A and B are shown apart, each in its own frame.
Chain A
Amino acid sequence: MSFESDLLAHLPQLRRYARGLTGDRAWADDLVQDATERALNRAKSFHAGTNLRAWLFTIMRNLYIDQLRGRRDIAVDDETAPWRQMAAPRGEVDGLVLRDVQRALYCLPVEQREVMLLVCVEEMSYQEASVVLNVPTGTVMSRLSRAREHMRVLLGEEPGRKTSPSSLKVVSRS
């Protein structure tokens, strides 16, 4: 298979990751567009036989981080927040629970959100996620653990810990 057709095969995943990151369909589509163009223009710098998916995700993730600097935080409690307009989830899981999970996801700081999306949704190994995020695998593990705990707190499932509402409002980005 050619590089282009390999790349095309990864487009649905790229878009899913873009939507997860941005919570915004239009932004996600632009992100996939930009990432695909950049990948095609830099096809020569991809080493055949290495992990194409990680390479593509890295390109798109770097673009996202660049674009994020020019934007405000995701307005989680805004009734018109783009993520609320994303397609209503279907399937066997309760829609209301999904809404809560969705909201919690966008309350997470971006480092926690991206690692959750890579491992939990894209089902990447810690090693692959560490390539995409450009951090050691140990950091992937600790970030993910913190993200899951954070989400439990946000979903109100964590009985042992009493957290004041202010600590839930995570808007920091490093």
Chain B
Amino acid sequence: MSSQDRPPEGGDRMGPPRPDRDLQALSAFIDEELQGDERDAVAQRIAADPASEATAAAYRAQDNALRALFADQGEPQVVRLRPPARERYLIAACFLVVGVACGFLMHMLLPSLGESARFAERADIAYAVYAPEQRHAVEVAASQQDHLVTWLSKRLNRALTIPSLAEYGFQLVGGRLLPDEEGPAAQFMYQNATGERLTLYMTTATIRRNDSKIRSLKDGQRTTFYWAWDRVGYALSGQIGEAKLQAIAYDTCKELGGDPKNW
């Protein structure tokens, strides 16, 4: 409380026609805050003393003027309800975390999916181009299998394994070097007794993470099953029926080190 709030003692007031206490009583009287004797005493004073009457009238006039000044103008009050500040910060923080997580996941998933799909498309096209080829189906024939493996392993900078598909009736014809998007790719061709052909395509350039889940890609009669393992992308293409090709793809994946639990 400041010093001016302290009720004045009124000791040194000179000839007080209206000491503060009287003014307070007048003020409280018009606010109907006085009871009993006090109220009656003030009422009598107002009736008897013109100065007190004038003061009370002036106070009432002030009240009326103030009420008129702040008369309700009936405008609607708009109040926006927002969550409390702490909740707002919490919500913002949650969005931030979710956003960062989404970005991270996109970074993890999108390139690999995109890459996978792209190398599978290239494998499919390479099949379409070379599978019908009779005289120049491969660059290096299966008779030079050791040379084929050494050469393509060197170009792909990875020790490649050529899986045997003999149990499905497919024999290795040979292989060739192909360009993939960012580097070399190897294509191995197989053929069965009836002349049907399969190709197993391998690339390392765009494979940055493992995704040994086997996916498929169809284009007309051709189907390609593809996966990635140990930073090598594999794509098995053929037109021997989806179910049969899928069975071969699963076995090949397993033989090349992929984990069947991910299928």
A105 to B4, CA, bound (A): 18
Which stretch in B42-50, B65-73, B173-181 binds the other chain? B65-73
Asked if A144 contacts B62 (CB within 8 A), the reply is no
Q: Which residue of A lies closest to B8 (CB)?
A: A142
Mask of A76-97 contacts with B, CB within 8 angstroms, 1/0 = 0000000000010111110001
A19 to B69, CA, bound (A): 10
Known interface pairs A91-B68, A141-B28; A37-B82 also in contact (CB < 8 Å)? yes
Asked if B70 contacts A151 (CB within 8 A), the reply is no
CB<8 Å pairs between A and B, sample of 9: A16-B72, A33-B79, A90-B71, A98-B68, A105-B66, A120-B62, A142-B5, A145-B24, A152-B58
Judged by DSSP, the binding face of A is helix
Mask of B70-98 contacts with A, CB within 8 angstroms, 1/0 = 11110001111110100000000000000
Asked if A89 contacts B68 (CB within 8 A), the reply is yes
Asked if A111 contacts B2 (CB within 8 A), the reply is yes
Contact of A148 among B1, B2, B59, B64 (CB under 8 A): B59
Contact of B69 among A102, A111, A139, A148 (CB under 8 A): A102
**A160 in the interface (beta carbon within 8 A):** yes
Asked if A89 contacts B28 (CB within 8 A), the reply is no
**B257 in the interface (beta carbon within 8 A):** no
**B7 in the interface (beta carbon within 8 A):** yes
B84: chain A residues at CB < 8 Å are 37, 41
Asked if A138 contacts B7 (CB within 8 A), the reply is yes
B4: chain A residues at CB < 8 Å are 146, 174
Q: Tell me how far the C-beta of B11 lies from the nearest C-beta in chain A, rounded to whole angstroms.
A: 16
A149: chain B residues at CB < 8 Å are 23
Q: Which residue of B lies closest to A87 (CB)?
A: B73
Contact of A121 among B17, B66, B80 (CB under 8 A): B66
Known pairs A37-B81, A89-B69; list 19 more (Cβ under 8 Å): A20-B69, A29-B78, A32-B79, A37-B82, A40-B81, A90-B68, A97-B65, A111-B2, A119-B31, A121-B70, A135-B5, A141-B24, A141-B27, A142-B7, A143-B5, A146-B4, A146-B20, A149-B23, A155-B62
Q: Tell me how far the C-beta of A36 lies from the nearest C-beta in chain B, rounded to whole angstroms.
A: 5
A160 to B66, CA, bound (A): 24
B26: chain A residues at CB < 8 Å are 145
The number of A-B residue pairs with CB atoms under 8 Å apart is 107
Q: Which residue of B lies closest to A137 (CB)?
A: B33
A132: chain B residues at CB < 8 Å are none
B73: chain A residues at CB < 8 Å are 87
Q: Tell me how far the C-beta of A76 lies from the nearest C-beta in chain B, rounded to whole angstroms.
A: 15
**A126 in the interface (beta carbon within 8 A):** yes
**B251 in the interface (beta carbon within 8 A):** no
**A117 in the interface (beta carbon within 8 A):** yes
Asked if A98 contacts B79 (CB within 8 A), the reply is no
A29 to B18, CA, bound (A): 41
B139: chain A residues at CB < 8 Å are none
Asked if A12 contacts B5 (CB within 8 A), the reply is no
Q: Tell me how far the C-beta of B209 lies from the nearest C-beta in chain A, rounded to whole angstroms.
A: 48
A4 to B131, CA, bound (A): 77
Contact of A116 among B20, B33, B66 (CB under 8 A): B66
Q: Tell me how far the C-beta of B2 lies from the nearest C-beta in chain A, rounded to whole angstroms.
A: 4
Mask of A132-170 contacts with B, CB within 8 angstroms, 1/0 = 000100110111111011011001010010000000000
A139: chain B residues at CB < 8 Å are 1, 5
**B259 in the interface (beta carbon within 8 A):** no
Known interface pairs A135-B1, A160-B17; A98-B81 also in contact (CB < 8 Å)? no
Asked if B33 contacts A126 (CB within 8 A), the reply is yes
**B63 in the interface (beta carbon within 8 A):** yes
**A11 in the interface (beta carbon within 8 A):** yes
Q: Which of B27, B64, B69 has the most CB of A within 10 A?
A: B69
Mask of A1-32 contacts with B, CB within 8 angstroms, 1/0 = 00000000001101110011000000001001
